[in-house]
A = this chain, B = another copy of it.
Amino acid sequence: MNQRNKLKIINDPIYGFITIPSALIFDLIEHPYFQRLRRITQMGLSHLVYPGANHTRFHHALGCLHLMKKSIDILKSKGVDITEEEEESVQIAILLHDIGHGPFSHALEHSIVSDISHEYLSLEFMNKLNSEFDGQLTLAIDIFRGNHHKKFLCQLISSQLDIDRLDYLKRDSFYTGVAEGNINSERLINMLNVVDDELVVEEKGIYSIEKFLVARRLMYWQVYLHKTSLCAEQILIRLLRRAKFVFEISQVKIENSTLNFFLRNKIDSENFDDSTLELFSKLDDYDIISAVKVWQYHDDFVLSKLSQMILNRDLLKVKLKNEPVDPKKLEEYLKKASKHFNISESDAEFFVFEGSTSNLAYQPDKEHINIWYKNGKIKDVSSASDQLNLKALSKAVVKYYICHPKSNN
């Protein structure tokens, strides 16, 4: 295939067209590691609440690529020095930033593997690809790891105003139909600039930043932490935990050999080697859901019941409150569930449980969002102006949930 054929254009409902900017990036997209992302949804089980939310990590990664190109163009037009190699590398870094995600990633990060973050796994994939591609990813990896001296390139990959967020908030808002979560990524990118190798936002962008943070919080409470999604996710976690337990006892092999490997073995960063990476690269949402489809008929009541709940969207009842759950209430529900399902109280814990979730729209202790004033000063956005309510956005909010069977009132 000649070089020209690799300069493809891909339709995107959000940005119109996404252009693949180089042959190397084209080849990375074609790689089975990246194609796998077609089978991992961006929002896990959120489609149970927002039926439009079936978009994939594959699509999100392409969206990031597009916004990164825009950002680089804007910065260059403002006189920021970016070499051609840096331009390609920062695009590769954002394209691959999520390549380490496993199936239902956030939910299953502690079932499939133990204490291995998807960032760690992304790096593993990038290193593997780097050797396949003769070291052409070295600079991209440096940028991804935050080691490049032009810090703003690293900040475009990971910070509180990184390209990842600019795409996923817009994309998730679009596909869920929660229009209030929509952010104006194009305008935010237009406001970017670089001072002393650090990313800054020009003064006139201050209201857009506030709007972005408010939209982000709205998306958290209305979508990402929606009580029904949260409940479904917790059920899935317990379902996998139960499956591990059941198969340990029974010694019966489960059908899918790859999934079998990850359920049977405790994989952590110590024993995660090349062959584990290869196996991990075969896993996706389809392995989980098709296992769940088999398990709905399993002899183990807990496993089959939890499986049916996910498949038929016949979930637990869930309440979300500002105060912690009263332990007596929990105890009471446990007893009822145990009786209702005729199971032990410890098994009932798979159907009755509580927990907490929290969200912080802006983290002042992390990588700041810096505002660049016309007079040359730079300030953290949360202290930028007393007229703004960004301080309030820097306060964590905790909510508490309790789940129990519907018939279990």
Contacts and interface: CB of A to CB of B under 8 A. Distances in A.
Contact of A290 (B50, B256, B311): B256
A327 interface: no
A256 B217 contact: no
Contacts of A184: 179-180
Given A17-B190, A389-B392, A55 B56 contact: no
A313 interface: yes
A50 to B, nearest CB: 5
Interface string A7-41: 00111111011000000000000101001001101
Number of copies: 4
A86 interface: no
Interface in A378-402: 385, 387-393, 395, 397
B207 A211 contact: no
| Interface SS, A side | helix
A214 interface: yes
A47 interface: yes
B177 A11 contact: yes
A255 B210 CA distance: 50
Contacts of A56: 47, 51, 54
A52 interface: yes
Given A16-B186, A207-B218, A313-B35, A293 B286 contact: yes
A68 to B, nearest CB: 17
A113 interface: no
Interface of A: 9-14, 16-17, 30, 32, 35, 38-39, 41, 47-48, 50-52, 54-56, 58-59, 62, 174-180, 182-184, 186-187, 190, 207-208, 210-211, 214-215, 217-218, 221-222, 255-256, 282, 286-287, 289-290, 293-294, 311-314, 322, 385, 387-393, 395, 397
